[in-house]
Structure formats: structure tokens, C-alpha cells
Chains A and B, each alone.
Chain A
Amino acid sequence: MKYKHKAETRSDILTLLCEASEIEHGLACSYLFTAFSLKCEVDESLKWEQLHMVKKWAAQIFFVASEEMLHLAQVWNLLTAIGGTPYYARPNFPLNAKYYHFDIPISLNPFSVSTMKRFKMYELPRTINEKDYVKTEFGLSFEDSYDYKTVGDLYAMIKEGIKSIPEEKLFIGDKDIQIGSDVIDFPDIIKVTDRKTSLEAIDQIMEQGEGTEIDEENSHYWIFSQILSEFEQEIVNDNSFNPVKNIIENPVVFNKGDIDINNANILQNESAILISDLFDDLYVLMMQILQHVFLTSNKKKSRELGKFAIHMMPIVIKPLADCLSKIPAGSLYKNKTASPSFTINRHVQIPSNYDIAIILINERLAHLIERSEFISKKYDLPEEFYKAIKSLKSIKP
């Protein structure tokens, strides 16, 4: 797609939807990382009023991240509707600055003024001039590109592509594998079966991100703007205000070669490395299971699997992230603690056949539980680790 600026064929649209999947997935991880970085306990040197404000910000950012996951799921429905398959791969963090055309790369950073400005950039309404925004907020010049500059632009291209191809020719996917809220816990997900539903799905994504003229105050852009303005005001009120855990940014377990190593921080502490690696593998398993759910027509069984995957987020993934934030990152980083890297390790797509899928999932899960038991025996760890593993053992796919 880099050679042209509009989608004209099924393949063009599939390419753009894969790109949209990568971006939605990457943004969800970036937002989650930042939400994890916020203090959430009364003993973390915040006043009562400040703690409430910070918890509200975290809840707001988690909410936006959950809508990015909804967008990813929606894009998967769009992909399968036109003959594709769900796509969960994405480049690892920290990305090379030029990987996408945002100029501001997607990365894993703790909460800060610049992080919030970066988030606003990703969700920038197309009514705001992006050149001006980037120059004003980041002091960067803005290069013209062939295709898109904001997420909104990308979806506008996909929309035009869908409109340009005859409906009966484009929507060849199996309607039975479309996923609705009866199967997955996303109340707003739309089953895509034709041009009308596909455009509805894209409009919903665009409205939630950048908003509409009449509903702009509820968009992701507006949410981030509000948080930023409250943060800036509180810094003025109290110059000792620090709502952020002392964690490292852009953590990686090892140099995989595809990342921007100059901006990466390789973990050094052995227990942090092992837990971070475990975190990544559990997170990838969660994504693989969700991808399988969007591939299969066995609704009853896929509902159970979908629930299992989504339950992993609050009871396994988040406690492990909290645990990492309490473990030293290594001697290079002085007093800073670790954080999750959301690295995607190479793996196969779980097939649509349930009987085969469940064997793969159970085997992988058993190995990961074994690894967690090894870690828990070897180190004395924060209680969040033991809670996460206890929860993991208590749920079954």
C-alpha cells in the first residue's frame, strides 16, 4: 500500500485492515502500559483527593484501551467478512519511528505530559491540523506521506475502498463466523455481513476515537485532553505531585533485532526477566485464543474460550504487571522497577478446529503454569505474583 493512496482491490483493503489491526493492538498495549504505571495505593505518597483523581485517570485510560481491543475485534470481523483471517501480529516495542506514518512512534511510556500529548496525537480528530499539532506539541516537522497521517485517515481510506467494490463481490466471508456480543463480552461489537454493517462498524471506531461534531466530548481524544489538563492543573497546585510509579520505559527481555534498541531498556534483574517473559507468553496465549474465537463457527465452545481469554486480563495479566512494578529492573536503572514489555514471540495461529485448538491451548497453559511454579519456588516475590498464578490455575479454558 505504500505505493498508492487509495484502496482499490480486496487485497488493498485486507492490507489496510491488517495495518489497522496492528495499530489498534499496539495502541491498546501502549495505553495499558501507561495505565499500569499510575499509582493506585494510599501509601504511594498521594493525598486522598489526588489518589482519587489518579485512579479516575487510570480507569479512563483502561477504558480507552478496552475500546481499542473492541476496535481490534471489530477489524477482525471486517477481515473475515471479506475473506481474510483475524490478524494479531504487530511490531514489537519500541518501534522504529518511521514504522507507521505518525512521526510519533508507538512506545511504552509511563504516564507523563508528553505521553498524554502522544496519545492525543494518535486519536487526533481530522478537523485539527496534524502539522500544527505535531509542531506545537513536539517541536517536530511533519513529512507528507502517500497514505495516512492519523488513525482516522486510515479508516477513511478503508471506508472508501469498501464503497468502491461491488458489495456482492467483496463480502464473501462465512457469515457464521461473525462474532457478536452473544459470544464475546464486547456489548457494542457489530457483526459484519455487508456494506452497510461494515460502514457502521468503521464509523463506530472513528467516532469512539476522534469523536463526531456533536459528540466530541466523549471521544478518546477528549478523554486524553481532559486528563492532561487535570494533570497540568494539579502540578500547578502542588509541585510535589507525582502520580507515577518509578518504572522503566520501553522494557525488553532481550534484543530481538526488530526493535529500536536505542530507545529500549533491557531488563537485567533475573526474576524480572523471567516474570516479564512469562507475562509476554501468557499475553500472547490470550491473543491467540481470541484470534481462534474469531475463526470458528462453534459458538458455544468459542464463547467459553472467549470468556477465558478475557478473564485472563484482570486476574492474571494485570496482577503480573503490578508485580513487575515492584521488582527492581536491574543495577543499570538505579532505583527504577521493571514493567511489562508486551513482546510478541513468534508462534503459529491456533487452527479453527476446536478439538485441535483445545489441545494446543491446554498444553501451552500447562507449560506456562509449570514455569510460574519454578519462578515462585526460586524467588521471594510480591504477593501479586502468587495471586496471578493462583487465579490462572483456578480458571479453565
Chain B
Amino acid sequence: MDKIKNKKYDYIIVGSGICGSIAAYFLAKFNKTVLLLEAGETRDKDRIEMSGRYARTSRKTPGSPYVKENQFADSPDFHENIKNNNSEKNKNFYVFDIENNKFKNVFKSTYQRITGGSTWHWLGNVPRFIPSDFKMNSIYRVGKDWPITYHDLETYYCIAENEIGVSGNHEKWNKYLGAYRSKSFPMSEIWECYADTLFIKKVDGKSINGKEIRILPTPQARNSENYDGRPACAGNSSCVPICPIQAKYDATVHIKKALKTGNVDIIDNAVVNKLIENENKEIIALSYLTLNNNKVEIDTKTAKVILAANSIEIPRLLLNSGIANSSDQVGRNLMDHAQGYVTALTNEKIYPFRGPLTTSGIDAFRDGEQRKELSAFRISIGNDGWGRIKSPNAVVRELIIKENLLGSKLYNAVEEKVTRMIRMSYSTEVLPNKNNRVTLSDIKDNIGIRKPKISFNISKYNADAFEVAKEVCTKIFNEVGVSELSTNDNRDYSGAGHIMGTTCMGNDPEKSVVNDYGNSHDNHNLYIIGPSVFTTSGTANPTLTAVALTIRTIDHLLNNKITKNEV
């Protein structure tokens, strides 16, 4: 430890999630020395044990495989699963500001603190943003424009898809919604699940609410064949919260690659709690807390510091340090994809739970003039019954308790119902809003760091889109042929786990935290990578765009060595 502490690194990266680990890998590949600091623990060898924990637990949440005694770095995922948590003070990981909130939920998205980050339990869907997502204000007069365009990012999208291993259909996606692709996906698409074939047969090509419906295979960071030494998806159907065979990409892939270069050191269980700057606004040191609550300080005078924690922990650290916030924008513009669902029973059996949790989606509503008035949305077709809304276990329980079924009658009823359960979920774009924000609470967490206080409200822009999305899903279901249609309460919505914004990029130092390369406007040796720099949230799952932006930043720091060598 002392050896590492006294060593001089070119880069110090805070956070070993997908962006931090890929940044470390590329920097190390091109002979830069890197120290990677991770708040969570390294648990690569526990993959099967953690899969077992998930199988055994009755409380199945994204965090349930990762629960362990005496968790050091607290997280919303961990917090959801701890028992005997009766204290009002500790009821939630987040402290919520619920004043004026019309919705039942304030902010429900969570994250995991573990080496490899939340990619352990992400779904792995990786559609790209579309060109109009970067120009919301110019085109639709809502939101903001990014300081970059789709074109600026296209090459990096290709590198990102190659690095994490994306399965997709180039022909179907190339130029769709204006998003051209200069390279094919590295793997052909994950073949559609059986339910998708029914949707394709009954709905594909039809017009609903003025849009041509196309059932498209969702690009996925999941192997359709052996790739990068990892196996093809074997249909374990537990992508969220854990893939037992690592057919789904997670960031431990790049941590291993980075360590293999010999240029990277990693310290886990290291919760960075403060950055220190000098009068020249140079980050000269950072401090972190260790398992024994010891405080360690690292000299960063000769290094560049890259923050890759996530969109909650980055503003939390910056606010706690009083750094990089001359714009007063740190923590503001917190975004997510506000989601809802429609569930039904298909008239014919569709046999869910074979393969990934979703393999196709409907992307037609991700763009169009309606974005002036209401949010765009992306629809995903589930392959997991009613998903988190009602598990097969809950169906069995209900049939026993409410309908008094047992024996062969129960068996037949379960077979009849579970094989026909289907859901469609819609994800709407939350626009940047300065009042949706992360600040610091006076309440401290288990290791004495001020908790994140969240203010978040859903606007009419999203609420109106919920109505339209429900209407579209209902029409599609009626074409497919279903019964028992059901949807969520109008005042309810769920988070997508797509936490974005809070240190947004922009050209104006008075209105943004970083420039288009993630470089702090205030501190020249401070960089931020990950979805916290997003200007707007679009409707695509954010990870691929976050990785593409990360590679663009690192390429800039390496004088374009990545594009010269990888393209």
C-alpha cells in the first residue's frame, strides 16, 4: 500500500465502473501509469456464489446478489436489501426532498459500489443516441444542445461497441432515425425470443399513432457467439442482477485487461471523500477512507484526476470538496428515464424466460415533432413475464392464496398463466432541469460522509408522454391479441437506473461544469467521465454513449492514439 501511495501516476481514476475501467485500459495500453480507486470490494471470484444468493433470496432486487455483512461503502442497492433497518434516519440511502412532489416516487434509481460497478447488474442494452438527441433545443426548442454532435461521436461508438462486444443487426439499424453506422456490430444480433416473433407477425410494418412500427432487435452487450474469450449467452435469464457465465459484458473484463498491461494499480475499499485544490485551481491531492476508517492522502500534483464514480457520487464528492462549481451547476440537471409499463396475457403461449430479459424493442417514438410538446419514448418488449411487476413466484402465491388451487389444478393454472405473461415498458426522456438536483444532506452515512439529498420531480412533459405511451402499448397489444391488460397508476413511475446529468458538459463555463472532453472548466487537471456529463438524456440506455464519450476523452488525452490505432 505504501508503495502505491508513494508512487507517481500519470492518472488517478476514481471509480472502476465501465467508464473508469475502459479509461484505465486505454491509458495503460498507451503506456500511461494509472491508479484506480474503487469504493467497493473486488468480488470477481464470488460470481457463482452471488448467483446462488440471488436464487435463494425471496427479495429479488438488482442489489440482492451483492448483499454482505458489514458493507463498507454504502450504496442504494445495498440499502434496499439490508434487514432490520428500522431507523427513520437510515431508512433510505438517499435523503429525499419531497416538497411539491406530485408523484409517489421521488427518485428510485440505484447503483452498486463494487469493483466493476453497476455493470454487474445492468441489463446490457446498448442502443446509440440518435442525432436529434444532441440538438434538442435547436430542433424542438426544449432542453439544451450538446456541445458535440452525433457525427463527433460516431467513430467512438464503433470503438465502444467493439470493446464491450455488442450483438446487433447492422442493416436494420444503419441510418434508422438518422443515425448512420460506419461499421458493423462485432457480433450478429441475439436472436429474437419467441414472443418477439409473435409481435413481428402481428404488428411489424403497421401504423400506430402515425408511426410505422418496426420490431427491432435491441443491440446488446451480450455475446451471441464466443467473443473476447467469453461464452455466448446461454439463456440463464438472470441478466439483471447477474450473469452467471459473463456472456453479458461487465467492467471486470476491462479491469483485468488494464491490470494485465502492468501499468495499472487498483485499490478497492477506498472511498474518496475529498479533492484538494491549490490557489491555481490545480487538484493537488485527494483523500480516501479505508476499511479501518483510516484516512489516506494521495499527492496528485503531477497527475490528472479523472472522476468516474457515477452521477450521484461525483457531485457528492465535488460538493463535499467545494471544487469545480463556480457555475453552481454541480449536482443540477439530474436525469433518468422515467418508465412505466403495460402488462397482459397473450392469447397464445409465448414461453417467456428463455434467453435475455428483452431482445427486441420499438424505437419509432424516439423522435418526431411530438418532442416539442411531450417526451420521446422507447418501448421494450419483455421476455421476463411481467418483470418486476409480478414474478412467477408471486403468481403461484396468488393462485394458492386467492384461488385456493393446489395439486394438478395449481400446476395447470401456473402453466396456463406464466407461459402467456408479457410486458411492454416505455422509457421517457427527462429533460435537464436545474431544480432536479443532488445536494448534500446534513445526515451522514455509515462512514461519516454527508448523504446525497435528492430533489427530483416529473414534469408534465413526461406525464403527457406516459399517457401516449400507454395508449400505443395498448394498441399494439390489441393487435397481438391479449387479455387482462393492466398498467401502472398515473401518479406512479419507475426509475430506469439510468442516472445522468449533475456535471453537464457545455461550452459556457457559467452554465456547465465541464467542456466537451469532460475537462473541468475550473480545474485544468480534473476530468469527469460517465453519464454525469450528459447534456440531455435522450431515450437510449446511456451506457454505450457514456463509453463512447469516455473513449473520446481518453483519445484526446492521448493525442488521438486510440483512433490512429483502433480505426
Do the two shown chains form a genuine complex with each other? yes
Residues of A within 8 A of B (CB): 48-49, 52-53, 55-56, 59-60, 62-63, 67, 185, 187-188, 208, 217-219, 222-223
Closest Cβ of chain B to A333, distance in Å, is: 31
Q: Which A residues are in CB contact (< 8 Å) with B224?
A: 187
Closest Cβ of chain A: how far from B29's Cβ, in Å? Answer: 16
A49's contact among B48, B191, B225, by CB below 8 Å, is which? B48
**Stretch of B229-237, B251-259, B513-521 on the interface side:** B229-237
Within 8 Å by CB of B232, from A53, A63, A222, lies A63
Residue from A49, A52, A217 in contact with B229 in the complex, judged by beta carbons closer than 8 Å: A217
CB pair A187 B189 closer than 8 Å: yes
B189 and A218 contacting across the interface, CB-CB below 8 Å: no
A18 to chain B: closest CB distance in Å?
27
Interchain CB contact under 8 A, A63 and B231:
yes
B189 touches A56 (CB 8 A): no
**Contact call B231/A60, Cβ cutoff below 8 A:** yes
Q: What distance in Å separates the Cβ of A204 from its nearest Cβ neighbour in chain B?
A: 11
Contact A52:B48 (CB < 8 A) given known A187-B188, A187-B191, A188-B188? yes
Q: Which A residue's beta carbon lies closest to that of B51? A: A52
| Interchain CB contact under 8 A, B48 and A223 | no
How many Å lie between the Cα of A218 and that of B225 in the bound state?
8
* Alpha-carbon separation in the docked complex, A218 to B191 (Å): 19
Query: By the criterion CB–CB under 8 Å, are A218 and B229 in contact?
Result: yes
Cα(A53)–Cα(B231), bound, Å: 12
Per the CB 8 Å criterion, the residue count for chain B at the interface is 20
Closest 8 CB pairs of A and B: A59-B234, A218-B226, A187-B188, A217-B229, A49-B48, A52-B48, A56-B245, A63-B232
Chain A residues whose CB sits within 8 angstroms of the CB of B169 once the complex forms = 187
A49 in contact with B49 (CB, 8 Å): yes
Q: Which of A56, A59, A188, A218 contacts B227 (CB 8 A)?
A: A218
Q: Considering only CB atoms, which chain B residue lies closest to A223 in the complex?
A: B226
Per the bound structure, the CA–CA distance linking A67 and B225 in Å amounts to 9
B349 to chain A, nearest CB (A): 9
Task: List 6 other contacts, CB 8 Å, given A56-B234, A218-B227, A223-B231.
Answer: A49-B52, A53-B48, A187-B169, A188-B225, A217-B226, A222-B229
Determine whether B244 belongs to the interface, using a CB cutoff of 8 Å to chain A. Answer: yes
Chain A residue contacts of B225, Cβ below 8 A = 63, 67, 188, 208, 218
Q: Kindly state the separation between the CA atoms of A185 and B188 in the bound complex, as whole angstroms.
A: 12
Interface residues of A: mostly helix, strand, loop or mixed? helix
In the bound complex, CA of A62 to CA of B245 (Å):
15
**Among A60, A217, A218, A222, which residue has the most Cβ atoms of chain B within 10 A?**
A218
CB pair A48 B52 closer than 8 Å = yes
Chain A contacts for B244, CB-based, 8 A: 52, 56
In the docked arrangement, what's the CA distance between A217 and B223, Å?
Answer: 14
The reply to whether B228 and A218 contact each other, CB–CB distance below 8 Å, is: yes
| A48 surroundings in chain B (CB, below 8 A) | 48, 52
How many residue pairs link A and B with beta carbons under 8 A? The number is 52
In the bound assembly, the distance between CA atoms of A218 and B227 in angstroms comes to 6
With both beta carbons as reference points, the residue of chain A lying nearest to B197 in the complex is identified as A307
Residue of B nearest to A311 (CB): B194
Closest to A187 in B: B188
Per-residue CB contact flags for chain B residues 485-526 toward chain A (1 = under 8 Å, else 0) read: 000000000000000000000000000000000000000000
Task: Give a binary string over B513-555; 1 marks a CB under 8 Å from any A CB, 0 the rest.
Answer: 0000000000000000000000000000000000000000000
Complex Cα–Cα for A218 and B224 (A)? 12
Question: What 0/1 readout, one digit per residue, does chain B (175-193) give for beta carbons within 8 Å of chain A?
Answer: 0000000000000110100
**B234 in contact with A55 (CB, 8 Å):** yes
Which of B51, B189, B229, B244 counts the most chain A CB atoms within 10 A? B229
Least Cβ–Cβ distance between B46 and chain A, in angstroms? 10
Taking CB atoms, residues of chain B closer than 8 Å to A53 are 48
Between-chain CB contacts (< 8 Å), 10 pairs: A49-B52, A52-B48, A52-B244, A55-B234, A63-B225, A63-B226, A63-B231, A67-B225, A187-B224, A222-B226
Contact for B231 among A59, A185, A188, A219, CB less than 8 A: A59
Tell me, in angstroms, the Cα distance from A185 to B228 when the chains sit together: 24
Closest-CB distance, B52 to chain A (whole angstroms): 5
CB distance from B246 to the nearest CB of A (A): 10
Q: What residues on A are CB-neighbors of B229 within 8 Å?
A: 217-218, 222
Query: Does B245 lie within 8 Å of A59, measured CB to CB?
Result: yes
Chain B residues with Cβ under 8 A from A217's Cβ? 226, 228-229
- Cα A350 to Cα B416 in complex, Å, equals 37
- The CA-CA distance from A299 to B226 in the complex, in Å, is 30
Which chain B residue lies CB-closest to A315? B351
Pick the residue among B188, B226, B231 that contacts A56 (CB under 8 A): B231
Q: With contacts A59-B245, A218-B229, A223-B226 known, is A185 near B48, CB below 8 A?
A: no
Nearest chain-B residue to A226 (Cβ)?
B229
- Chain B residues with Cβ below 8 Å from A222 are 226, 229
Q: Which residue of B lies closest to A67 (CB)?
A: B225
> For B235, what are the chain A residues with a Cβ–Cβ distance below 8 Å?
59
CB-based nearest A residue for B224: A187
Closest Cβ of chain B to A142, distance in Å, is 29
A280 to B35, CA, bound (A): 60
Residues of B within 8 A of A62 (CB): 234
Residues of A within 8 A of B189 (CB): 187
Residues of B within 8 A of A223 (CB): 226, 231
With CB as the reference atom, state the residue of chain B lying closest to A189.
B188
Inter-chain CA distance A397–B564, complex, in Å, is 53
- 1/0 per position for B406-449, CB-CB distance to A under 8 A? 00000000000000000000000000000000000000000000
**In the complex, what distance in Å separates the CA atom of A67 from the CA atom of B231?**
13
How close is B565's CB to chain A, nearest CB, in angstroms? 14
The CB with the most chain B CB atoms within 10 A, among A187, A208, A219, is that of: A187
Q: Which chain B residues border A59 with CB–CB below 8 Å?
A: 231-232, 234-235, 245
Q: Mark B29-51, 1 if CB is under 8 A from A, else 0.
A: 00000000000000000001101
Nearest-neighbour CB distance to chain A for B196, whole angstroms, equals: 12
Q: What is the bound-complex CA distance between A185 and B191, given in angstroms?
A: 8
List residues of chain A with CB within 8 A of the CB of B232.
59-60, 63
Inter-chain contacts of A63 with B (CB < 8 A): 225-226, 231-232, 234
Most buried by A among B49, B228, B245: B245
A217 to B244, alpha carbons, bound, how many Å?
20
| Bound CA–CA A52/B225 (angstroms) | 19
Name the interface residues of B180-227: CB closer than 8 Å to any CB of A.
Answer: 188-189, 191, 224-227
In the complex, what distance in Å separates the CA atom of A208 from the CA atom of B187?
13
Q: Bound complex: CA of A59 vs CA of B223, how far in Å?
A: 13
Given the complex of chains A and B, what is the CA–CA distance between A188 and B167 in angstroms? 12
| Complex Cα gap A223–B191 (Å) | 21
Q: Quick one: which of B191, B224, B225 has the most chain A CB within 10 A? A: B225
Most buried by A among B49, B189, B232: B232
| Of listed A49, A56, A67, A217, residue having the most chain B CB within 10 A | A56
Cα A60 to Cα B230 in complex, Å, equals 10
- Minimum Cβ distance to chain A for residue B353 (Å): 14
- Interchain nearest-CB distance for A179 vs B (Å): 16
Whose C-beta in chain B lies nearest to the C-beta of A53?
A: B48
B350 vs chain A, min Cβ distance (A): 13
In the assembled complex, the Cα of A187 lies from the Cα of B167 at a distance in Å of: 11
